[in-house]
Amino acid sequence: MQIIAHRGASGLAPENTLKAMALAIELGVSAIELDVQQADGELWVFHDRRLERCTDGHGVLAQQSRAYLARLDAGEGEHIPTLWQVMALIGGRCELHIELKGAHTAKPVAALTRRAESELGFTPAHWVISSFHHPELARFARLRPELRLGALTANLPLQHARFAEQLGAWSLNCDVDFVDAGLVADAHRRGLRVLVYTVDEPSDRDTLAAMGVDGIFTNRPDRFS
C-alpha cells in the first residue's frame, strides 16, 4: 500500500509548508500531496479558502496580493510557499499529488508541471493531478492528457466509481469515512486505483488494506514506515 504524505508531513510540521515537505522527504515517502490555489497570478500551496486557521493573516486567499501573502506566518516562522518553491525543493525525489482547490488552477498548473519537467528533474510519471472540482480536472485532462488524474469524492456516490471512470482518472480518491468494500471493488473493476484520505492510525490502514485499498494519504508518514 502506498503511503502519501498529506499536505507534507503535516502532523509534524505546519501543513503545506516547505518545512512539512522537507520532513516528508527526510522520512523517505514515495509521494507527497499538497493543495493549490491561485491568487494575484501566482499558485500558492494552501488548503483553506480563508487565511485565519493556518496563518496570522485575514480574508480569502484568492483575493489577496502576492506581497501580502508572501509576508504571512504560516506557522513556526514558515511562509505560504508557491507551487514552484515546493517543486524546487522536491526536485523529482518523489511523486507529487497536486490537488487543484478551485477554478483557474488547471491552466497554470499544466504550464508549471511542464516547466518543472524541463528545469527541475521531474518526469510526467511524477505527477498525479487531483480535484473535487471535476470540471477543473476535466480541463486539466484536455491540457495534459498524458498525466494521471485523481478524482476526489467526499461522499459515497450513487453510481460508485462511475464518475471517476467518466473523468478518465487513474485513481478514485475517497474519504475514509465513506469508503467501503463495494466502492473499492467497483473502482478496481473499472481499472482504477483507490486512494483514501486521511488515515493517521495504523489500525485503520490494516482495515483498508483488507478492503484492497491501494494507498493512503496521511499526516503522520512516520507511523507507517
Please list the active-site residues.
6, 47
Please, which residue, 46 or 122, has the CB nearer to Mg ion? Answer: 46
Binding residues for ligand G3P (CB under 6 A)? 6, 33, 35, 47, 99, 130, 152, 173, 197, 217
Residue nearest to ligand G3P (CB): 197
- For position 136 contacting Mg ion by CB under 5 A, the verdict is no
- For position 35 contacting Mg ion by CB under 5 A, the verdict is yes
Closest separation in Å from C-beta 136 to ligand G3P: 14
Burial 155-165 (b: 16+ CB within 10 A, else e): eebeebbeebb
Closest separation in Å from C-beta 177 to Mg ion: 15
Q: Which one of ligand G3P, Mg ion, none is in contact with 197 (Cβ closer than 5 to 8 A by kind)? A: ligand G3P
42: left (phi over 0), alpha (psi -120 to 50) or beta: beta
Vertex 129, ends 123 and 131: CA angle to 5°? 175
Vertex 207, ends 202 and 209: CA angle to 5°? 90
Please, which residue, 99 or 186, has the CB nearer to ligand G3P? Answer: 99
Q: Which one of ligand G3P, Mg ion, none is in contact with 217 (Cβ closer than 5 to 8 A by kind)? A: ligand G3P
Q: In 3-state terms, the chain is what percent helix, strand and coil (to 5)? A: 35, 25, 40
Closest separation in Å from C-beta 183 to ligand G3P: 16
Q: Quick check: 223 and 200 in contact, CB under 8 A? A: yes
Q: Which one of ligand G3P, Mg ion, none is in contact with 171 (Cβ closer than 5 to 8 A by kind)? A: none
Give the chain's largest Cα–Cα span.
48
Q: Which one of ligand G3P, Mg ion, none is in contact with 173 (Cβ closer than 5 to 8 A by kind)? A: ligand G3P
Closest separation in Å from C-beta 50 to ligand G3P: 14
- CA pair distance 184, 85, nearest whole angstrom: 35
Please, which residue, 127 or 197, has the CB nearer to ligand G3P? Answer: 197
Vertex 69, ends 67 and 72: CA angle to 5°? 110
Within residues 57-116, the interface with Mg ion by CB under 5 A covers: 99
Q: What is the amino acid identity at position 125? A: A
Sites of contact with Mg ion (CB under 5 A): 35, 99
